Structure 1
């Protein structure tokens, strides 16, 4: 798609309240416009491009700031302290009751998606939200770059993206190497903060034992989970 088509999608998402997806399209469209500015030699056209870029950039920054505030505000609904070695804490058990048809967008900020088990945790989480959020349309994933094997990381994420697209769900992933905090934002108005992010489970040892597939049987690492209620993301 060209910049115009992407930015039109951004505006449509913005007006319909899907601001997580709108932010992604604004950022992608702005990048293309900036590339066009650098290649443009006509002063008049450059001025038009700069005006458009400022308009969309201002709106993108407003949305970005709003999403950022969601992660630091809201009323605490539930705090769960998980002891080392505890079981019975699958993703669904932890926050399944907050998953519903109201969830159209999900933002996942998870710094560490490098090892095989970390991608397995991501897949398990995606299975839970897709199974329980029938109207889910968009997932934005923010993570760090795998500096040792970036190609494998990209291939794995692209495969997941392609698989979700078969279910008419868009996965957009981006890299922020300064990312530290972990959080999950549901567009229905909930923020889930887990001290260890998605990676709260110990490896099965031996591998072929209960907990391999059903995470309620999997032993956990010590961590805390906070679930906050915020205004609906729209």
Structure 2
């Protein structure tokens, strides 16, 4: 058995394990990775019998990955509005913890974060601040899928910064998976405990501290904000 086949087997076994315990975002990503490896193997396989076996297994995994995709989409679409929080221009006291920290709890094992704009230094600082809160509040967090746009001006720098963040998250036993979708527009945070947080401006509704070294540099409750709205929705737990 080739190393590639072994890798595909290991990846798909892990996908099934994640699937069984309700970590469906991670399972979906692993299914896709395993399927791609098997597809590459099929392309190089000369034995017709083996090709047939590969195709049968690939179809099984594709079907399961599609089922998970539909399940995630239903979570995002369905639900009822729990609360609407209007944030006024120049208001303070609106840190991530203050706005939705109560929903980041021990029941959260996975998070889907759709944030189109991760290009500027302050964008990455906001992302790290959010991830710090996530790791601190959600002691069972295992997987975060980040979907963003490619920085058209400095894509290499963007990838380098995100790799640094991925490595640091991995040291804390959390997988950060980054996906680039250049047509992405919506901003949302989907928690596996059934809450969906939609912020008009995404993570980036804080104004810069002025002067730089003043209260608010680290504690975002002191930061003045741009006007936006925060909607928090409740749907079913991923595992349900």
TM tier, shorter chain?
Answer: over 0.9
1:72-110 deviations in whole A, cap 9, x for unaligned?
A: 211111100111111110000000111111111111111
Residue by residue over 1:15-63, the C-alpha shift from the partner in whole angstroms, topping out at 9 and shown as x without a partner, is 1111111111111111111121222222222222222111111111111
Structure 1 unmatched ranges of 5 or more: none
Per-residue CA shift, 1:138-190, capped at 9, x if unaligned?
11111111122111111111111111111111111111111111111111110
Regions of 4+ moved over 6 Å = none
- Structure 2 residue runs of 5 or longer lacking an equivalent are 1-5
Matched, 1:57 2:67: no
1:214 aligned onto 2:238? no
Q: Report the aligned-residue RMSD.
A: 1.1
- TM-score normalised per structure 2: 0.94
2:83 match: 78
Aligned position for 1:139 = 144
Indicate yes or no: 2:101 matched with 1:92.
no
Mapped partners of 1:186, 1:192: distance in 2: 8
Aligned length in residues: 234
CA–CA distance in 2 between the matches of 1:48 and 1:223?
Answer: 53
**Does residue 202 in structure 1 map to residue 207 in structure 2?**
yes
- What is the SS of the residue equivalent to 2:29? helix
Q: TM-score, normalised by structure 1?
A: 0.97
- The one of 98, 103, 106 equivalent to 1:101 is 106
* Aligned-partner Cα distance in 2 for 1:180–1:68: 16
Query: Cα distance, 1:115 vs. partner?
Result: 0.9
Secondary structure of 1:71's counterpart equals helix
What is the distance in 2 between the residues matched to 1:150 and 1:46? 38
Q: 2:11 aligns with which of 3, 6, 9?
A: 6
Deviations 1:175-213 (A, max 9, x none): 111111111111111000111111111112221111110
1:38 aligns with: 43
